[in-house]
Amino acid sequence: NSNEYNIVKLILQHMKELKDIIDFMVDYKKKDINTRFEIGHNIKWYIKQVNYSDIEDGVKKSYKSVKDWRKLRLEEKKKLEEENENVIKLETKINDLFEKYMKINAENIYLNTLRLELKEKIKNISDKNEYVKKAVDLKKEIDNNNIYIDELAKTSPYQVTEYVKNKDAIYSTIKSELSKIYVGNIDQLYNELYYVVQENDIDNAKDKTKLEDLKSKINNEYNKIQNMEIGTVESHLTNIEANKNKLSETILEIKKYIYGEISKDLNKTLEDFKNKEQELSNKINDYAKENDQLNAYKSKILEIRNHYNDQINIENTKEEEAKQNYDKSKEYIKTISIKEDETSKAINEVKNLKDEFLSNVDKYINFDNIYNGNVDSEHNKFTDLTNKIKAELSDEKLTIYEKKFNDSKSLINETKKSIEEEYQNINTLKKVDGYIKVCERTNKSITNFRSKQTTLKDKLNQNINTIKETDSIEKSYKDKFENTLINKINELDKTFKDASLNDHESNNNGLMEYFNNLKANLGKNKENMLYHEFDEKENAINNIIQKIEDINKNISNIEAAIYTSIYNISEEIEDEIGKNIELLNTQVLKKVNENVTNLNEIKGKLKHYNFRDFGEEENIKYTNEINKIKDDIKTVNQQIDNHINKLEDIKKKSE
C-alpha cells in the first residue's frame, strides 16, 4: 500500500544520503594526505638553502604553510565530525523505518484476513436481505391497499363499514405474519441492511480504524438476521401474499358496490329532474297565456283613446270606462306578477337542481377518475350514464325554457307598458283638449285686448279734443289736462308694446297647431316625435296663461288709470268752469256796460263827425276816398248797434 511504499522510498533515500556522506569523507581524507606531503617537501627545500636570508625567508614561508595547513586541518576535522553526526542520524532513521515497515506488513496481513471475513458476512446479509426486500415490498403494497381502502371508504358517497371490518381482519393477519419474519421495523431493517451492503467499501478501507469501525457496523446488522431461516421466511411470505390478494378482492367488491349505488342514485335523480322540468314547462305555458287577457284590457283602453283622438271636445263620458279597465288591468297584473315570481322561482329551482345534479355527477366522475381501476365494466356503464345525464341536462334545453319565459315576460311587459302609455295618452288628451281651449281663450283675450286698446285710445283722444274745444277754462289748465291725457296715451302704447301681443298670438297659434296635431295623432304613431315636445309645450302654455294674466292685469291697471285721469280731469274742469262762471258774470256785466258806453261814445262821435273840410276845393280830388270813409262809418255804426244789441243780450243773460 501507499504507506509501505512511502517507507521504502524513505529508506532508499536515506541510504543514498549515507553513501554520499561516506564517499565524501573518503575523498576528503585522500585530499588531506596529499596536502601534508607537499608542505613537508617544501620545508625541507627551504632549510637546505645556503644563504641566511633565503633560509629565513624559507622558514617564514614554511611557518605560514604549516599555519595554513593546521587551520585547514581543523576545518576538515570539524566537517568530518559534522558528517559523522549526520551518518549516525541517518542510521537511526533507517533503523526506525525498517521497524515501522515490519509493523505495517504484519497489520496488512491482519487487515486482509479481516476483509475476507467481512465480505463473507456481507454476502450472507445480501442474500437474506433479498427476502427482507420481498417482505418489505409486500408490506408496502399491502399498506397501500389498506390506505386505499380507508381513503375509498372516506371518499365513498355510501357506507362501506362491513368491507372495512373485513379489511381490518385481513390486515391484522398480515401484520402477524410479518412479525414472525422480523420483530421490529422491517422497513428500517431493510434500509439498514441495504445500506451496509451498498456502503461497505471494504476494499477501500485501508485504515485499520476504519476497517474496525466497518466490522462493528457489519456485525451489528449481521446479528439481527443471523438466526433468520430462509425456508421459514418463504412460508410466511406465501401467507402474506395470499392475504394481500384478499385485500385486492375486497377493493374490487367495494368499488362494484359503490358503482351500483351511484347508478341507482343518478337514475332516480334524473327521473326527478325530468318531472321538475315538465312542471316548469307547464308553468311557462300557463304564464304565456296571461298576455291574452291583458291585451283585452289594452284593446278597450285603446278604443277609448282612438275615440278621444277624433273628438272635437272631450267629455268625461268615456273616462270612467277607461279607469275601470285600467284598474282591472292593474289588479290582473298583480296576479300575473305572482305567477311570474312562481315561474321565475321554478326556473331557478330547476337551474339549482341541474347545477346540484351536475355537481354530484362531477363528484362521481372525480371518484371514477380516481377509482376506476380493474372495474372496466362498471366504469363503462357509469360513463354511458353520465354522458346521457349531461345530454339531458344541457344548457341549451334550459336556455330554451328561459327564452320562452323571457319572451312571454317581454310581451306582458310590453302590454303593461302599452296600457300605461294608452291610459296616460287618454289623460294627456284630456289635458291637450284643455290646452286647446286655453289657446282659444288666449286668442279671444288678445282680440279683446286690442279692442280695448282702440277703445281707450279713442276715449283719450275724444277727451283731448273736448278739452281743446273748451273755452270755459284757462289755457294753463287746458295744457295741463291735455298733457295728462297725452301721457296716458303714451303709457297705454307702452303697455301694449310691452305686452308683445303679436308674439304671444304667434306662439299661441303655434301651440294650438301643436296641440291639435297631438290630439289627432297621439298614440297612433309610435315614431311621431310630437309627444317628446309635450313637456316643453306644456310649460309654454302655462307661461302663456301667466303672461295673459299679467297682460290683463297691466291693461286693467292702465284702463283704471285712464278712466281715473279722465274722471279727475272732468271734475277739475267742472270746478274750474263753476268758478269761472261766477267771475265771468261779474266781469261780463262790467265789460258789457263798459263796451256799451264805449260803443255809444264812438257812435256819438261818428254821428257828430264833421266832413265839411272834405268839401273844400282842394279836397275834391279825394271824393271817392271821402265817400268810402262815410260808407265805412255807416258800416261801423251798424256794427256798433249790432254789438250793443248783443251786449244787451249778454247782460240780460248774465243777470
pLDDT in tens, 553-576: 988 888 888 888 887 887 777 676
- Number of domains, the chain: 2
Q: List the grid coordinates of 624.
A: 271817392
CA dist 55 and 43 (Å) reads: 10
- Estimate to the nearest angstrom the gap between the alpha carbon of 244 and the chain centroid: 60
- Estimate to the nearest angstrom the gap between the alpha carbon of 45 and the chain centroid: 131
CA dist 599 and 620 (Å) reads: 31
Over residues 282-299, mean pLDDT: 91
Burial 452-484 (b: 16+ CB within 10 A, else e): bbeebbebbeebbeebeeeeebeeebbeebbeb
- pLDDT (0 to 100) of residue 48: 66
Q: Which of 406, 425, 444 is the last residue of a domain?
A: 425
Choice between 576 and 513, residue whose per-residue pLDDT is larger: 513
pTM of the model: 0.48
In sign, the C-alpha dihedral spanning 547, 517, 521, 429 is positive
Q: Residue 586: inside a domain, yes or no?
A: no
Task: Check whether residue 316 and residue 404 sit in a common domain.
Answer: yes
Q: Residue 593: inside a domain, yes or no?
A: no
8 A C-beta contact, residue 193 and residue 129:
yes
- Model confidence over 364-384: pLDDT tens digits? 999 899 888 888 899 999 999
- pLDDT (0 to 100) of residue 614: 43
Task: Check whether residue 317 and residue 206 sit in a common domain.
Answer: no
Task: Check whether residue 89 and residue 164 sit in a common domain.
Answer: yes
Q: Count CB neighbours of 132 within 10 A.
A: 24
Q: List the grid coordinates of 645.
A: 244789441
Q: Residue 453: inside a domain, yes or no?
A: no
Phi first, then psi: give them for residue 373, nearest 5 degrees.
-65, 135
- pLDDT (0 to 100) of residue 507: 93
Task: Check whether residue 400 and residue 287 sit in a common domain.
Answer: yes
Eight-state DSSP code of residue 207: S
Choice between 580 and 120, residue whose per-residue pLDDT is larger: 120
Angle at 513 between CA 508 and CA 517, to 5 degrees: 145
Q: Count CB neighbours of 552 within 10 A.
A: 15
Task: Check whether residue 192 and residue 284 sit in a common domain.
Answer: no
Over residues 640-654, mean pLDDT: 64
Residue 621, pLDDT > 70, answer no
CA dihedral 376, 377, 381, 384 (to 10 degrees): 50
CA dist 641 and 635 (Å) reads: 10
**Terminal CA-CA length for the chain:** 190
260-274, 385-399, 467-481, range with the lowest pLDDT:
467-481
- pLDDT (0 to 100) of residue 410: 93
The confidence band for 617, taking pLDDT boundaries of 50, 70 and 90, is very low
Residue in the block written with cell 284757462: 474
CA dihedral 422, 428, 434, 438 (to 10 degrees): -140
Residue 145, pLDDT > 90, answer yes
Q: Residue 458: inside a domain, yes or no?
A: no
- pLDDT (0 to 100) of residue 109: 75
Task: Check whether residue 46 and residue 162 sit in a common domain.
Answer: yes
CA proximity to 481, closest of 466, 460, 462, 467: 467
CA proximity to 422, closest of 292, 297, 301, 300: 301
Residue 579, pLDDT > 90, answer no
Over residues 158-170, mean pLDDT: 93
Backbone angle region of 419, left / alpha / beta, with phi > 0 → left and psi within -120 to 50 → alpha: alpha
Find the largest Cα–Cα distance for the chain. 241
Residue 588, pLDDT > 60, answer no
CA proximity to 393, closest of 419, 359, 432: 359
Residue 168, pLDDT > 90, answer yes
Task: Give helix 395-469 / helix 475-499 axis angle, nearest 10°.
Answer: 170
Backbone angle region of 228, left / alpha / beta, with phi > 0 → left and psi within -120 to 50 → alpha: beta
Choice between 309 and 314, residue whose per-residue pLDDT is larger: 309
The confidence band for 82, taking pLDDT boundaries of 50, 70 and 90, is confident
287-301, 316-330, 627-641, range with the lowest pLDDT:
627-641
As a whole number, the mean pLDDT across the chain is 81
Percent of residues, the chain, with pLDDT higher than 90: 33
The confidence band for 527, taking pLDDT boundaries of 50, 70 and 90, is low
- pLDDT (0 to 100) of residue 144: 93
Q: Which of 400, 425, 450 is the last residue of a domain?
A: 425
CA dist 383 and 266 (Å) reads: 12
- Model confidence over 102-127: pLDDT tens digits? 676 777 777 788 788 888 888 888 88
Instruction: Tell me how far CA of residue 647 lies from CA of 193, 544, 579, in angstroms.
Output: 178, 66, 22
- Model confidence over 233-257: pLDDT tens digits? 899 999 999 999 999 999 999 999 9
Task: Check whether residue 202 and residue 292 sit in a common domain.
Answer: no
Q: Residue 155: inside a domain, yes or no?
A: yes
Per DSSP, the three-state class of 232 is: helix
Can you give the residue range of the structural domain that contains 145?
2-228
Task: Check whether residue 140 and residue 277 sit in a common domain.
Answer: no
Over residues 157-183, mean pLDDT: 92
8 A C-beta contact, residue 435 and residue 541:
yes
8 A C-beta contact, residue 322 and residue 426:
yes
- pLDDT (0 to 100) of residue 605: 47
Residue 350, pLDDT > 50, answer yes
Task: Check whether residue 224 and residue 268 sit in a common domain.
Answer: no
CA dist 97 and 103 (Å) reads: 10
- pLDDT (0 to 100) of residue 141: 94
Task: Check whether residue 205 and residue 311 sit in a common domain.
Answer: no
Eight-state DSSP code of residue 525: -
In sequence order, which residues have a C-beta less than 8 Å from that of residue 425 and are 6 or more positions away? 305, 308, 522, 523
In sequence order, which residues have a C-beta less than 8 Å from that of residue 14 and are 6 or more positions away? 90, 93, 94, 97
Choice between 578 and 176, residue whose per-residue pLDDT is larger: 176
Instruction: Tell me how far CA of residue 137 lies from CA of 142, 251, 346, in angstroms.
Output: 8, 19, 58
- Rg, C-alpha atoms of the chain: 78
- pLDDT (0 to 100) of residue 613: 42
Q: Which of 393, 425, 457 is the last residue of a domain?
A: 425
8 A C-beta contact, residue 21 and residue 87:
yes
Q: Residue 415: inside a domain, yes or no?
A: yes
- Estimate to the nearest angstrom the gap between the alpha carbon of 336 and the chain centroid: 36
- pLDDT (0 to 100) of residue 612: 45
CA dist 294 and 299 (Å) reads: 9
CA dist 500 and 554 (Å) reads: 12
Q: Residue 162: inside a domain, yes or no?
A: yes
Query: Got the DSSP string for 529-553?
Result: -GGGGHHHHHHHHHHHHHHHHHHHH
CA proximity to 307, closest of 422, 434, 436: 422
8 A C-beta contact, residue 18 and residue 91:
yes
Q: List the grid coordinates of 586.
A: 261779474
Instruction: Tell me how far CA of residue 184 lies from CA of 75, 175, 187, 224, 442, in angstroms.
Output: 83, 11, 9, 10, 117
Q: Residue 412: inside a domain, yes or no?
A: yes
Task: Check whether residue 133 and residue 9 sit in a common domain.
Answer: yes
CA proximity to 516, closest of 594, 436, 572: 436
- Model confidence over 419-443: pLDDT tens digits? 998 888 888 888 888 899 999 999 9
8 A C-beta contact, residue 237 and residue 134:
yes
Task: Check whether residue 221 and residue 345 sit in a common domain.
Answer: no
CA proximity to 197, closest of 110, 113, 118, 114: 118
Over residues 49-71, mean pLDDT: 66
Over residues 540-545, mean pLDDT: 91
